[in-house]
Chains A and B, each alone.
Chain A
Amino acid sequence: MGGIGQMMALYSRLAKASIRARMQYKANFILTVLMDAALFAMDFLLIAAILYRFDSIGGWSVFEIGLLYGTASMARGVYRTFGYELHRFESYIAEGHFDTLMVRPWPTLLVLLTRNLDPGRLGVAAQGGLVLGISCHALLKAGALSGGAMVYIWTLPLWGAAIFFAISLATSASAFWLTRIADLQVFTMYAPMTAASYPLGIYPASLRALLHTALPVAFAGYVPIRFLLGKGGSAFDLVTPVLVAMAALYVSYWFWRLGESGYQSTGS
């Protein structure tokens, strides 16, 4: 018990069960998917309206922003699907349900993540994929993007999802000390995930610095895409998403383990 292969097998078994559980509430599931789609469409219409008026934002055209927006949305959809329970982690600490994860002979994070998955969020990822596809197509036609670059861009959502996941994991782990983290999540999750959908050059320097360091969403898309579009940076930028994702996962899991060892539980 405990090898990576066995963990993967158990993960997939438990994850399937939680999806079955979720399907017990079909109406709610369909509603979530539709709501997400509506919100996403409104979001993008807003940018399109702004771009229609100004042509570009911070020197980025509509299709260039589409690359950022598409990769960020896909990453976000994948992260929310698999990291759904991290998002709700506050209740585990505040209500003491974390106890029940600790008595299992598996890593607590594995058991936690499988308690709930949210495949409805893959709808957001699909819509992000649509925006990304349209943008890639337009830029290819205009000669602004090579075929190789396009293939590379389609791998970015994976690393982006890993970066979002790591930030979420670290945020959730802070609940071991803070208990209540809903407000912190707005600051570390919602805001950076939204920020990653736009060229970071439009933000003040201090915010830009933050998004390149403690909340490294810049590497989920902006940094490598900026280089591919010839807007600055170096070829090294292309490996940063992988490196940052790995480092962020490593650090945030270490932080999680630290919090777990100091877990205080609640009264009976």
Chain B
Amino acid sequence: MEYLALEPRSQVMIEAKNLVKIFFVAKRFNGSFGAVKALFNREAREVRAVDDISFKIAPGDFVGYVGPNGAGKSTTIKMLAGILHPSDGEILIGGVSPQRHRRQVAKNLGVVFGQRTQLWWDLPVVESYELLAAMYGVDRERYLAAMKRFDELLGIGELLDVPVRKLSLGQRMRADIAAALLHDPPVLFLDEPTIGLDVVAKDHIRSFLREVNARGTTVLLTTHDLSDIEELCRRVMVVNHGKLVFDGCLDALRAEIGVPTQLTVDYTQPPANGETLSGLGFQVVDGDRARGPNSLTVAFDRALISASDAIKALGELGEIKDVHLTEPAIEQMLKQLY
């Protein structure tokens, strides 16, 4: 397998420069002749699915790409993979444009669409792998090594003789991910790989993806399941209305939005009045009174107050029996961004 001619000291595997994708959606007309009217009316509504997005991803990085439905996630991935042409801007994968050199870039890409299998529907799984090996020029030795690895990590062996149409969703996703990695591409794009899967199947796939990334594969993952991001990604990019609204590590995301950490303390008896706490930068959360009179929940900003200082301050109010620290869930944080 020939790899992309990367610059020797290149720190960039994937680069998007001022990416724009505009779709023209035909205007709809109501009424019984609506369809006829639409046929003769050239008016189209302009939708900016991706609106001036730029980023660079280093080799070996694991990046989560999140956003609400219709935010432009899939459109971005499709442009990166050479499926769609951007309306403006440029993409370089290992220094090569997937628009101008689609086939060259495709050799070095693994792509998984969660809702769309790339396997041969009516054939046993192993036949798909053999065809893909032929398609990507994977020789016998490397093919067998890859199969052994996929069996150890994904349990592919038990699926090999089963026609794809008879696989469960979780099995199919494992088979699909293995298929995308058969030619050991330096770059992997995953579009919703855990969609519809149960917890066990998700775990299985996540640990495999961690191993793939540890081998040096650059991974870009779009997902609805934010626990994917929390467990896998070092960096997260948040897109909304076609624009990149955040790009950084998870901790930075927490800091930027300043969603407070919550601390719940159970006392041996009802605590003293916490009025003084607000002066110290705490906010008493009312919602948790349900835990009973012996509990108190406060919210605070980790950037300003450390957890141990927080516990110390609450210890002033009574004898502590137990403490629970809740980091803000990524869902909550993102809601503030959208």
Contact = CB atoms under 8 A, between A and B. Distances in A.
Nearest to B81: A103
A99 B118 CA distance: 10
Contact of B103 (A14, A99, A105, A263): A105
Contact of A264 (B23, B82, B136, B192): B23
Interface residues of A, number: 29
Interface string A230-268: 000000000000000000000000000000011111011
Interface stretch (A16-24, A51-59, A144-152): A16-24
B122 interface: yes
Nearest to A14: B131
Interface string A5-21: 00000100110011011
Contacts of A105: 103-104, 106-107, 135-136
B127 A106 contact: no
A156 to B, nearest CB: 35
Nearest to B117: A100
Contacts of A96: 116
A214 to B, nearest CB: 22
B178 interface: no
Interface in B120-168: 120-123, 127, 131, 134-137, 163
Contacts of B102: 102
A100 B84 CA distance: 12
A26 interface: no
Interface string A160-204: 000000000000000000000000000000000000000000000
Given A263-B83, A265-B78, A100 B118 contact: yes
Contacts of A2: 103
A21 B121 CA distance: 8
A1 interface: yes
A268 B115 contact: yes
Contact of A261 (B85, B121, B137): B85
A13 B135 CA distance: 10
Contact of B122 (A14, A24, A107): A24
Nearest to B112: A103
Interface string B178-220: 0000000000000110000000000000000000000000000
B111 interface: yes
A97 interface: yes
Given A99-B78, A265-B84, A24 B163 contact: yes
Interface string A192-232: 00000000000000000000000000000000000000000
B189 to A, nearest CB: 9
B116 A103 contact: no
A104 B135 contact: yes
B134 A10 contact: yes
Contact of B120 (A17, A107, A261, A263): A17
Contacts of A1: 103, 107, 137
Contacts of B113: 99-100
Interface string A89-101: 0000000110110
A267 B261 CA distance: 36
Interface in A22-40: 22, 24-25
A10 B118 contact: no
Contact of B116 (A14, A97, A106): A97
A24 B118 CA distance: 19
B82 A103 contact: yes
B82 A102 contact: yes
B238 interface: no
B131 A17 contact: yes
A103 B74 contact: no
B313 to A, nearest CB: 47
17 contacts: A10-B134, A10-B135, A14-B131, A14-B134, A21-B123, A97-B116, A100-B118, A102-B82, A103-B82, A103-B111, A105-B106, A263-B84, A264-B23, A265-B83, A267-B70, A267-B74, A268-B115
Interface of A: 1-2, 10, 13-14, 17-18, 20-22, 24-25, 96-97, 99-100, 102-107, 261-265, 267-268
Pick the 4 closest A-B CB pairs, nearest first.
A268-B74, A21-B122, A105-B106, A105-B107
